[in-house]
Chains A and B, each alone.
Chain A
């Protein structure tokens, strides 16, 4: 079975900082990788699909990259409303989410 890992598990950054979260699959998943944002007490929200495609309505400060086994979600300029937990998810076969990365403001 494919395993998903994320790093870091949590981070604290200042408003305006560039933030990078990484996701690694245990085997090649091509570009079948999605990113979600989940704010406290809310349902997850799709940010990026197929590794690098920005979902409609998502701010352009969010971007995704990678293929194969290594992927990155970047926030170019962290905003207070970006406080959330971010999950990667592989969609190549049985859907599986990474463990999440909690982002807060320093």
Chain B
């Protein structure tokens, strides 16, 4: 079964960091780029960045450039998204999603993780 399974909900204090994992199964992990998208409560979808599971190269949305780090572990078919200097506005559901293109980046998301709720509160 092809799927992305994310880690569980997190509660963090302002200024802290959070690291969310996304484990892929059922397909060749290094064949498709993985994106991260977040959704604040009651709000729309916001793209955060992309990682190539094969070589580890990344590209981040400008507004997250200074605070986000995406990494991967090929031995466990897992990608990670770490967001630092958390503030209340970072309270959101964070999704990993797979790029549809097997030969590059189509920025079309054909499979999504179940989402990880991150709450930032003092």
Contact = CB atoms under 8 A, between A and B. Distances in A.
Interface residues of A, number: 20
Interface in A87-106: 87, 89, 91, 94-100
A100 B43 CA distance: 9
A97 B45 contact: yes
Interface string B96-114: 0100100000111110111
Contact of A44 (B45, B46, B106): B45
B9 interface: no
Nearest to A33: B108
Contact of A46 (B35, B44, B100): B100
Interface residues of B, number: 19
B95 interface: yes
Interface in B65-119: 95, 97, 100, 106-110, 112-115
Interface of B: 35, 37, 44-47, 61, 95, 97, 100, 106-110, 112-115
